[in-house]
Amino acid sequence: MSSQMIELTWARWDAFLEGLYERDERLDRREPEQTYARDEAVDAYVLSAHAEALRSAEVEGDVWGTLADIEEEAGNEEEAWGKITAFYLDRGCVLVRVTDAEEPEEWLLEEGLARRLGLLEGAAADRP
């Protein structure tokens, strides 16, 4: 699969998170007319456990630890994130970027997870 990037506004990012649930450590989309327990709600912290890597103002991502995991080095955080992004995109992951965030808000998700969560259905920017 070629590398993909999905861009969402902050409002669409929030709506995306609200449309998810986690049960038995599996993240999935909420279905209409279904009932979900309060503890199945997903926020950025819950999603972070399922991400390959992230750079977020909400959740402390370990950019330097991730860089070490992929056996790379960088002179600054921006360069480090660029190497991390390239590494994961080359392996078929999807970059989700919040376009109107005050600070960088970028998440790398495995392609199968992104597809299951509805990020790869049509144009993500057209979904609420």
Q: What is the pLDDT of residues 88-111, one digit of tens each?
A: 999 999 999 999 999 999 999 999
Tell me the mean pLDDT in the region 4-16: 96
CA-derived radius of gyration, the chain: 15
Count the helix, strand and coil residues of the chain and give each as a percent rounded to the nearest 5.
35, 20, 45
Tell me the mean pLDDT in the region 9-36: 96
Taking the C-alpha atoms of residue 106 and residue 55, their distance in angstroms, rounded to an integer, is 5
pTM given for the model: 0.89
pLDDT of residue 3: 59
Please name the amino acid found at residue 74: A
| Residue 123 burial (10 A CB sphere; 0-12, 13-18, 19+) | exposed
pLDDT band at 114 (very low <50, low <70, confident <90, very high): very high
Instruction: Locate 110 and state its tokens.
Output: 């495995």
Tell me the mean pLDDT in the region 78-92: 97
Of all helices (H) and strands (E), which one includes residue 94?
A: strand 94-98
pLDDT above 80: residue 121? no
CA 6 to chain centre: 10
pLDDT of residue 127: 41
pLDDT above 50: residue 126? no
